[in-house]
Structure 1
Amino acid sequence: MPAEKKAYPLRISPAVLEAMQRWADDDLRSVNAQIEYVLREALRKSGRLKPGQAAPVADDQDDST
């Protein structure tokens, strides 16, 4: 059973969104999955997210980008 996710509205500049879209396309992810991946990696690297605390993004339930 996939982990429950919370919806969160995000205001983002067009330039940042375009860059995230290009990066997501390169990594074969949706923009939503790419943003979650980047946030999770930043949290992990800063020591604010312990290993196993957040499962990797499952892109099969995309929120439409």
Structure 2
Amino acid sequence: MARKQYPLRIDPDIWAAVQRWADDEMRSANGQVEWILRDALKRAGRLPKKGDGNQGPPQEQDDA
């Protein structure tokens, strides 16, 4: 799976907390941020299910 690179501006104290959490979970800080985001999306019901092809917002169809 291709990964999107994105520069992240974050408060140093928050980054330090993420890094400590990642160390506790034996993950990289980048992997921890991805896990946090994926978990939040899943809890909010916004994470597309694997294989459903829904990678973004629904497209409007023109019935003309």
The root-mean-square deviation of aligned C-alpha atoms, in Å, is 1.1
1:9-37 Cα offsets, whole Å, 9 max, x none, are: 10000000000000000000000000000
- Matched residues, number: 51
- Unpaired segments of 5 or more residues in structure 2? 52-64
8 A contact 1:44–1:51 mirrored in 2: no
TM-score (norm 1): 0.74
Higher RCO (C-alpha 8 Å, min separation 6): 1
Partner in structure 2 of residue 19 of structure 1 = 17
Partner in structure 1 of residue 28 of structure 2 = 30
TM-score (norm 2): 0.75
Runs of 4+ aligned structure 1 residues displaced above 4 Å come to: none
